[in-house]
Structure formats: C-alpha cells, structure tokens
Amino acid sequence: MKRPPIKWELVAKDGEARCGLLHTRRGVIETPVFMPVGTLGTVKGTRFEALESAELDARIILGNTYHLWLRPGAETIAACGGLHRFIGWERALLTDSGGFQVFSLGALRKVCEEGTEFRSHVDGSLRFLSPEVSMQVQAALASDIVMAFDECAPGEASHEVARESMLLTARWAERSRKSFNVLQNEGSTQQEQKAGESESSQQTAGGRGNEQRSSSVLPPAPASCFLSFKSALRAPHSALELSGEQALFGIIQGATHLDLRRESLARTVEIGFEGYALGGLSVGEEKRVMYQVVAETAPLMPVNSPRYLMGVGTPEDLIECVARGLDMFDCVLPTRNGRTGQAFTSRGKLNVKNAQWTRDMRPLDENCACMVCRRHTRAYLRHLYLTGEMLASILLTHHNLFFFLDTMRRVRQAIRSGDFTRFRREFLEGVNSGVA
C-alpha cells in the first residue's frame, strides 16, 4: 500500500494562523509558504541555484499548465521525463490547471459544459481545455501537486452568474478527480508492471474520489484537441511513470458571495482532495472583500489539509491571509515588479527609476540582508534599469523574492513563538511608513 503523495501536519497555531509541515516526495515544505511562479518552467530572471541557495531556499515553485501546454507542449515535456527533468529542478513543483489563464484571455474564450475553447495567445490556434485534458497535461508534467480544472468568475460577478460558475467548477472538480485517478492508476500500474509485479494494485494516490474510479467513464473530448501520449509513454523517461505519486487539490469558487463559497467548499470537500485552494480572489474585488471571503471561508476548510490562496498577493496580503488561516500562496508580484523596476522593502515599495536615487549609495532596503542589498546601491540599480540592462531585472527579482520568502520565514517563526500578532502589526507599520 502506497503512502499518500503529500501529508500536511500542524506544528503551531497562533490565533487562526497556522504553522505546518507539508511532506512531499520532493522534500519537506514549511508552511505558510510563498511559491515563486515559474510560468514557462523558469522563475523569470532567476537561476535555480539562487532559488536553492540558503538565502532564498524556495522549496516549491509553480509551473503554468496553460503556458507549458502551448510551449514547448506536454508531449515534449513528457518525452523529456516530466517538468522536473526538463527544467533541471529536483524540489517540489505545483502546476495550476490552466483554468485561470484561460479566464484571463477574456473574450478569446468560450465556456461550455465540456470545457473551454480558446485561442492560443501564441499563434492564435483554436484550443480546447477540459478537466480531462488538464489532468492529462499535468500528468505529463509530473508535478507534485496538481490543481483541479476550474472556472473562475469575475470579482464583481452577480450571485446568479457566480452560482452557475461555481456549480460548473464543482462538476469539473468531480471530472478532474476521476480523470486524475485513472491517470494515476495507469501510471502506477505501468510502474508495477515495469517492476515485474504480477499483482495489480487498485490503490491510488487520491482521496475519496478513488472509490468512484472503477465506475468512471471519461466523457469524450474533441478528438482534434486531445493529446496523444503514446509517444510520451514510449519515451525512456516517461513522466507518467512517476504520476502515481501526484497529489490533487480542489478549488473553491463562488466569487464574493459567502453562501456560494460555503456551498463550493462543501461540494469540493465532498469529492475529496489532498489539499484545498481558494480561487477567484484578487480578480477585481475590493481588498477588504477578499479578506472577508478568506476570513469566512478558511476556518471551514479541512483542518488537516493545506489551504492554498491562488495568485495572491502583496506581502501585506500574505500576512493578512495567514492571519485568517491560510498556508500556501503564489504570486507573480516579486518577479514581475522586479522586471518593472519596483522593489518591495520593509518600508513599502521603492521605484528604482526615481531621480532621487541617482547618487544614492544606500541599498534598496537598509533592513535587508540579501546579496543584492549587501552589494549594490540604489544608484547602480537605477543606472542598470535606465540603460535596459538585464542585470536590473535579475537583481531586483532576487531582492523581491528574498523579501517574500524571508517574510514568510519570519511569519513562521512568529507563529511558532506565539508572537504573530505583534509581528503582523510591526510589519504593516513598516511597509506603510514609506521609503525615504
């Protein structure tokens, strides 16, 4: 009998804030955790050696299913042995389902019961993404944590629109779970066959959904859009060989409507997942509304599973949502802002372009211990940014990632020592004080 693909254990609690350990096949991840985004298989502007260094020590990064599916394609990654081997990263990987990226395409997408039709932003080709396709692609990527395929309603969606979308997400969650379980079983069966075992195990990695696996019949997807993994399976290091060990997270939707969030949560938990995410936040709603949704929903989420807030947010958001009981976060802010000349500091954001830094020999953040702040000045970083030098993005990204990851280290320390309330107050005072 297999051990579960992931396991989360509580280490300390301070109010609603939780400190825990997420055990994965690729190492232990302390939570609350910030996960840098590696859209196309690279955390933009950052070498893996830096991510692994004691300074950053990122234990898990993200890959985007939508982007990787389009380029270089799931078959290529599968043929290269899965995303870890393809990119050269041995720590944990989480892949999203592609649902949010497709939502971001706006008018370019068409949602139906079966899935979502959209045009590729790369070449305009017509594509079709469904729970089954997303699970197949994520199996090929062989990420450690797979996200269910969901539909994301806009932040300002009416109750009616949001409910329809939430129910579709629930039906897709069930299809995701079933499809995932079949793929995991294929993977583990293949592994067992390779290992020369004659006895076929019915045990897969999933949660309650496993029970429904044997009766499931996958709804057909459009033949033209479906991926053929035959070549991938023939490849020497097929990603699917590992896929028996993936974990699947469900996603709670419902926009800003608290009753819908509760209903979505109940339906998602009913299906059963290894972890639970809040989706559809930070998509246009007011910040206080987001905090309220988190405050009302998080305490109802299963206590023994990791709770993941997708795509959020600023350092303040992270701390506010940790305070409301969430464990995992991802956001493009540190990397994207790094490329646009914005540094996150203990006194708020610093715009590196400002003329006032022309001869300023101070580091970005005088309270920061990162390599960039130990070595380089605002004057130099401004010069690099204004002359379009790549090093500006590289250094600002490094500093920003350090700020996010180090803040989470301090958050965990504060929770463990029962000091989170004071930490939170002082941190927020700091970032609101303004850069001088």
Residue numbers at the binding site for a copy of itself (CB under 8 A): 40-42, 44-49, 71-72, 76, 79-81, 85-88, 237, 358-359, 361, 371, 375-377, 379-380, 382-384, 386-387, 389-391, 393-395
Residue 387 Cβ vs a copy of itself, minimum distance, rounded to whole Å? 5
Residue 434 Cβ vs a copy of itself, minimum distance, rounded to whole Å? 24
> Do residues 358 and 379 touch, judged by C-beta distance below 8 A?
yes
Task: Identify which of 181, 424, 178, 211 has the alpha carbon closest to the alpha carbon of residue 323.
Answer: 424
List the structure tokens of 353.
Answer: 């372009």
Residues 6+ away with beta carbon under 8 Å from 401: 36, 43, 46, 51, 56, 58, 334, 335, 338
CB closer to a copy of itself, 20 vs 63: 63
Q: Residue 249 and residue 144: Cα distance in Å, rounded?
A: 11
CB closer to a copy of itself, 54 vs 217: 54
CB closer to a copy of itself, 95 vs 393: 393
Residue 93 Cβ vs a copy of itself, minimum distance, rounded to whole Å? 14
Residue 395 Cβ vs a copy of itself, minimum distance, rounded to whole Å? 7
Task: Identify which of 81, 30, 101, 17 has the alpha carbon closest to the alpha carbon of residue 60.
Answer: 30
Task: Identify which of 350, 375, 347, 351 has the alpha carbon closest to the alpha carbon of residue 363.
Answer: 375
How far from 12 is each of 194, 302, 308, CA to CA, in Å? 42, 16, 18
List the structure tokens of 288.
Answer: 């206080």
Residue 86 Cβ vs a copy of itself, minimum distance, rounded to whole Å? 6
CB closer to a copy of itself, 41 vs 250: 41
* 123 catalytic per annotation: no
Q: Which of 96, 317, 327, 406 is catalytic?
A: 96
* 419 catalytic per annotation: no
Residue 362 Cβ vs a copy of itself, minimum distance, rounded to whole Å? 11
Residue whose entry in the numeric block shows the structure tokens 């938990």: 269
> Do residues 152 and 161 touch, judged by C-beta distance below 8 A?
no
> Do residues 368 and 402 touch, judged by C-beta distance below 8 A?
yes
Q: Which of 14, 144, 317, 330 is catalytic?
A: 330
CB closer to a copy of itself, 105 vs 371: 371
CB closer to a copy of itself, 71 vs 110: 71
Helix 258-271 crosses helix 287-297 at what angle (to 10 degrees)? 40
Catalytically annotated residues = 96, 330
